[in-house]
Amino acid sequence: MSLSAASAPQYSHIVLEDGVPTIAGTTMKVVELVMAQVAYGWSPEELHFQHPDLSLGQIHAALAYYWDHKEQLDQDMERRSRLAEEARDEAGPSPLAARLKSQGHMP
């Protein structure tokens, strides 16, 4: 069963900025909020505590948008993780990590 444009879900708190789903009136991308939820296991209430500038309505809308577009957003999160890993690899160990390792405080 396909949805017509009239019956497609509406996300009043979500806007597409250059094709990127973002919480309206903020700079918070849906994937950023979802990544925080996944990384820390936060409930919507904890997300609100951690991001008091977002309303629970905005948070729930972002999570609903994620679940309705899960495959696409999971691919974006994987891409972001890969880019972060590549940047870490290129940067090498930080001077602090190198010093701690040389002092035997890190493996």
Domains of the chain from N-terminus onward: 10-102 (1.10.10.10)
Q: Of 90, 27, 72, which is closest to residue 53 (Cα–Cα)?
A: 27
pLDDT, tens only, 8-66: 568 889 999 999 999 999 999 999 999 999 999 999 999 999 999 999 999 999 999 99
Residue 19 backbone phi and psi in degrees, to 5: 80, 0
Residue 57 CA to residue 5 CA, distance in Å, equals 23
In terms of pTM, does the model score above 0.85? no
Residues whose CB falls within 8 Å of the CB of residue 37, separated by 6 or more in sequence, listed in order? 47, 63
Residues whose CB falls within 8 Å of the CB of residue 38, separated by 6 or more in sequence, listed in order? 77
pLDDT, tens only, 69-91: 999 999 999 998 999 999 988 98
